[in-house]
Amino acid sequence: MTDMMIQTNALAYTYPGGRVIRFPDLACRAGETLLITGPSGSGKTTLLHLLAGLIRPNEGSVQVAGTALGNLGTRKMDAFRGKHIGIIFQRSHFIDSLSVSDNLTLPLQLTGAPVDRSRLETVAGDLRIGHLLDKLPARLSQGEQQRASIARAVLQSPEVILADEPTASLDDHNCESVARLLSEQAARHNAALLIVTHDNRLTSLYPQHIQLT
């Protein structure tokens, strides 16, 4: 398998209103981080959804971990996403009724992968949420929730981590901390990390970035 984890070619998406947005070609290898910045409405989230296979492009192609997403049906795409792509959202979404621990292992359980308790504790410890595993997500602070989101995204050792505005709602201290942890975890798991954000605080941290207009 090639170490090119994300590759797009002549990607374009047409919104329901008819507006067409074209994206520059992207390439990101395992262990690399790519920052995509741009103002609101520039298509950052749409790009992330295309890369995650949540929506399909009208033109062009997306390859993730050597697999052309356009060839996958809905069910296979869901399974592929769960296994190979970790996603972090701006707002940390959790299953409110499940404990932090259950939420972190949910991608593994949904894809039928075994749950390694010691690995869970290690990752949670690295992200300083080890003591929060038995709590409900609503009991966590915003910073803790975002760190739990990172833990969930990396726990199944995905080849690709996609982060949508991961620091937008955090203060400066937490912003830097979360960004650093995200990079560390991606590097530790040799995953390609792609961050889309309009948070200019991150541009100084990630030299490799593409600006959408």
For binding to other proteins (CB under 8 A), which residues are involved? 45, 49, 52, 54-55, 74-75, 78-79, 81-83, 87, 89-91, 93-98, 102, 106-107, 109-111, 152
DSSP code at position 49 = H
Residue environment code for 61-80, b if the CB has 16+ CB neighbours within 10 A, otherwise e: ebbbbebebeebeeeebeeb
Note the helical H segments in the chain: 44-51, 74-84, 100-110, 117-126, 142-155, 172-188
The greatest distance separating any two alpha carbons of the chain, rounded to the nearest whole angstrom, comes to: 50
CB of 84 vs other proteins, minimal distance in Å: 9
Question: Cβ closer to other proteins: 16 or 207?
Answer: 16
Query: Would you give the distance in Å from CA 134 to the centre of its chain?
Result: 24
CB of 106 vs other proteins, minimal distance in Å: 6
- 145, two tokens: 């929730």
CB of 204 vs other proteins, minimal distance in Å: 27
Query: Would you give the distance in Å from CA 184 to the centre of its chain?
Result: 14
CB of 93 vs other proteins, minimal distance in Å: 5
Instruction: Determine the Cα–Cα distance for residues 59 and 109; give it in Å rounded to an integer.
Output: 34
Question: Cβ closer to other proteins: 117 or 180?
Answer: 117
Question: Cβ closer to other proteins: 7 or 105?
Answer: 105
In order of 21, 48, 120, 174, the CA distances from 14 in angstroms are 6, 15, 40, 36
Question: Cβ closer to other proteins: 115 or 210?
Answer: 115
| Residue keyed to tokens 């409110």 | 96
CB of 96 vs other proteins, minimal distance in Å: 6
- Strand pairing category for 85-88 and 20-22: unpaired
Question: Cβ closer to other proteins: 87 or 208?
Answer: 87
Question: Cβ closer to other proteins: 30 or 106?
Answer: 106
CB of 73 vs other proteins, minimal distance in Å: 11
Instruction: Determine the Cα–Cα distance for residues 137 and 164; give it in Å rounded to an integer.
Output: 20
